Structure 1
């Protein structure tokens, strides 16, 4: 979706990331660096907001507010709150960005673009077959990212293969063949693996090794618990593995585009400088 019709002039200067838990979020550092690089005197904070209180808290926001970044478990309720949604949000049922403007809130899912941009940056080109580990909410964004990259066959490895039914349905909508399998019984070699499990997920070493042996490079969306069991298995196999910090960076750049330009497809003024500032802030937060 491009800039929503009737968006009007954006005047608010307050933004925040909401979720539960939220203390671990690096969004304030990333966004703060971006707005300083752009010369914007904006406030970007964080707030612990429960799913049950989301609607009432959103209704309290007034004119100074410009937008919100949403993390778990709020992406579903943010989807419901959005009056307009981009394609990625519509297909995944998840919104991680709300633009609070005329005719809004306007909802976006920048996780999809963040995955695509990061993998492209790493040189991943034209994967034919991929695997998603896990079948939760983040797996829908992973599937849409793989569709964007041209993947037509995706294996979903989950503890309960029946949990992947919504991914099979999504695959049918976008033209991707989705095959569920048990996490300990991968069905064949793939060109790329995207792991969407929580950082503390309990996976047997033998299972992780089987996934690594046939998995191609790994993008593990976790960035606070590293290395994960899967990343360690990929290291044993001598294969590439990336944590989720790169995806986090790229989806945040797209969020900044939304908040500044009203459109994730519109390039920021001096975006190379903004990108560099955000990368430096991310590196500093990791080493702190």
Structure 2
């Protein structure tokens, strides 16, 4: 029986997850197929019903990676939500586990997790993000919720959340209340000045959605550097993590890097969170060898990191 896993989302053709996961399982010697499946929010319940039927028929599902726009909806499709995913109400990972005591021994439990938080924290720490940073998040959806939790873990005292529609930031607000981080939700049109002065910026916007900010941000960063250089050493921006990785570099990442700031590509965060998914799907857990990260980096052309 061929074991199966997949990444779900819409659109999904650009996803790097299949390359990451396939490389990992080949290296680990785990026979586990992994594919990308385009699933809309409306189609998710029917898709998950088919997965459960597959399981009843003996087909070997081992895991699902979940991306936009399904991370909140998946909470309603699993049997249990654990860890930070429970606090946030956002699931990006579904593991398939044996039934618990007292349950039908022929059933499989679907358990939801969130590995995005660990992915963001590890990516920012590796990039040298300041402790207790002043922080800005672009976007208010499921990945923004993970960003809020990650900022709390990094010691941020407060965060500003900039969104295209201030009435649609429920996931970020829920996350902030759950982890105890003070936030303010503001319109995206006013974000450039806040970005220029932040220690950490996390953009969770879809590809190209931050492009309109890039020119304004570039001008503000250049102006700030000019003022600083006339007085002391030039001021540099902090760390920008842009979770969008196609196309790369994004316009906002290019502007940030041109001003001397540190840029963390979304691909790096994707690798960090995918490592945690591989632990779940392979069944190896903490016994998974550390060198699997190298082959995952190689699979997508990312620089090898000391993790």
Shorter-normalised TM range:
0.7 to 0.9
Q: What is the CA distance between 1:206 and its match in structure 2?
A: 4.5
> Is the contact made by 1:168 and 1:177 (CA closer than 8 Å) also made in structure 2?
no
> Is the contact made by 2:129 and 2:238 (CA closer than 8 Å) also made in structure 1?
no
Q: What is the CA distance between 1:210 and its match in structure 2?
A: 6.7
Secondary structure of 1:283's match?
A: coil
Q: What is the CA distance between 1:70 and its match in structure 2?
A: 1.4
Q: Aligned-residue CA RMSD in angstroms?
A: 2.4
Secondary structure of 2:72's match?
A: helix
The reply on whether 1:15 has 2:24 as its aligned counterpart is no
Aligned length, in residue pairs: 270
- In structure 2, the partner of 1:257 is 279
Secondary structure of 2:287's match?
A: coil
Of 273, 279, 293, which residue of structure 2 is paired with 1:275? 293
TM-score normalised by L of structure 2: 0.79
- Cα distance change on mapping 1:160 and 1:69 into 2, 3 Å: closer
Q: Please identify the structure whose Cα radius of gyration is greater.
A: 2
Secondary structure of 2:275's match?
A: helix
> Is the contact made by 1:152 and 1:175 (CA closer than 8 Å) also made in structure 2?
no
Secondary structure of 1:25's match?
A: coil
- In structure 2, the partner of 1:234 is 256
TM-score normalised by L of structure 1: 0.84
Secondary structure of 2:5's match?
A: strand
Secondary structure of 1:31's match?
A: helix
- Cα distance change on mapping 1:243 and 1:37 into 2, 3 Å: same
- Cα distance change on mapping 1:12 and 1:80 into 2, 3 Å: farther
- Cα distance change on mapping 1:75 and 1:168 into 2, 3 Å: closer
> Is the contact made by 1:114 and 1:248 (CA closer than 8 Å) also made in structure 2?
yes
- In structure 2, the partner of 1:3 is none
Distance in 1 between the 2:186 and 2:35 partners?
41
- In structure 2, the partner of 1:6 is none
The reply on whether 1:58 has 2:48 as its aligned counterpart is yes
Q: What is the CA distance between 1:136 and its match in structure 2?
A: 2.6
The reply on whether 1:87 has 2:83 as its aligned counterpart is yes
- In structure 2, the partner of 1:218 is 240
- Unaligned runs of 5+ residues in structure 1 are 1-10
- Cα distance change on mapping 1:238 and 1:89 into 2, 3 Å: same
Secondary structure of 1:34's match?
A: helix
- In structure 2, the partner of 1:30 is 20
> Is the contact made by 1:127 and 1:192 (CA closer than 8 Å) also made in structure 2?
no
Of 267, 277, 285, which residue of structure 2 is paired with 1:245? 267
Q: What is the CA distance between 1:125 and its match in structure 2?
A: 4.2
